[in-house]
Chains A and B, each alone.
Chain A
Amino acid sequence: MPFGRSFRVTQLRSLGSLWPWLLVLLALVGVRLSKGAGFADAYALMTRPFWPGSAQGEWVRSAQQLGDQARLSQLEVDNQRLRHLLQLERGDSAFEGAAVISREPGGWWQQLLIGKGSLNGVGVGDPVLAPGGLLGRVASVTPTTSKVQLLTDGGSRLGVWLPRIRRHGLLTGVGTPRPLLRFLEKDPGARPGDVVVTSPASTLVPANLTVGVIQSVDDRAVPATEAVVQLSAPVQAVDWVQVRKGAR
């Protein structure tokens, strides 16, 4: 009897000394049940300095840009071919780079003078582009210069297209840095932030060129909705422009 009692007491004591291990076991069971909580978090904390940083992000972004550019140029070629088939555009248009030699974006007239004229094949009505989008159209030419009427000029009128709501509008210069977009109907569903491009049906300017972004919409305007457009090409900062010769 004394032997059996002492054995049980020893067993209990050895079990009592094992309780820390039991706690560890319970913790491990908890880790198992929580799908690695604690371990994964500790690993994340320790390896944070070695995570893929901005350099790798830029690498991925540049690869994406390259892919987008290739796709864009392919679509442009395709688009031009289709427009040519539809006879919306003559095939012999070409770009001519020209320096801005006089700039008058404010005052009575909003105009630019560029350093290429009729000797370089520039003609009245040719669209003038800058990084960012369309700037305006050639209003008059001399042998070596051309005067460009900006989209902001009071006499400028241009048919434009809103791809999101699939509506046409008339972009009218009013003498301020932001021209007015007049819709043909009431409440067309335009919103600030909508992109404005040149009309795909236009034979005066190349189609689908970015013009600007709608800044505010006035649905109470009479006779139809009007919107103020922020142009995307920075007139004040542009030193060189591209004239699309023979685009008409």
Chain B
Amino acid sequence: MAALYRHGWCGATGLVVPLLTLVSPGFLKLDGVGPAWGLLWLLPWALVDGPVSGAGAGLALGLVLDGLHLGPVSELPALVFLGWWWGRVGRRGPQIERSFSLGLLALLGSLVLGGTMLAQFAWLGEAGRPQLHTLLSQTLITALLAPMLCSLQLLLWRQQTAGLRG
């Protein structure tokens, strides 16, 4: 079933995630906080390519993004979990197509990611209102961008897998 990961160029599009994280475009920020670019790429990938490929992509993204950030707090566990979960949603349920569904999945995913980060910051004794503000802002902006960006990617990946099966 999983087919996208076999094509190098499909996986290479994931390089856009660290690039956008570093560029951090100011016009796509909500109160100084940018979206979780990793989630916006991972969601359509996992929905089309399944839980194993999704978890693998989450692992790869998590390793790269953790390398770009300060400190010991990691995005990796949440990204692996979300890749696996979204892969299952894509495989087991009815096909996800509607913008609202994509936005809702991105919102829940961003809450999970932010929640794990907040828990790690709390464990380090650094959690407070600024971190809660980051969680809420990032969740909102990610969920707002998801219908627009994820539906285009979903279309592209479905075209690719349809071509591969055909």
Contacts and interface: CB of A to CB of B under 8 A. Distances in A.
Given A111-B70, A174-B128, A102 B23 contact: yes
Q: How large is the interface on B (under 10, 10 to 19, 20 to 34, 35 or more residues)?
A: 20 to 34
A106 B30 CA distance: 10
Interface of B: 22-24, 29, 31-34, 69-71, 73, 117, 121, 124, 126, 128, 130-131, 134, 138
Contacts, number: 53
A109 B71 contact: yes
A108 B73 contact: yes
Nearest to A148: B70
A154 interface: yes
A175 B132 CA distance: 11
Of the candidates A107, A109, A149, the one having the most CB atoms from chain B within 10 angstroms of its own CB is A107
A139 interface: yes
Interface string A125-151: 000000000000001100000010100
A153 B70 contact: yes
Nearest to A140: B70
B137 to A, nearest CB: 8
A113 B31 CA distance: 21
B117 A107 contact: no
A104 B18 CA distance: 13
A149 B124 CA distance: 17
Contact of A174 (B24, B32, B130, B134): B130
Nearest to B130: A175
A107 B32 contact: yes
B31 A106 contact: yes
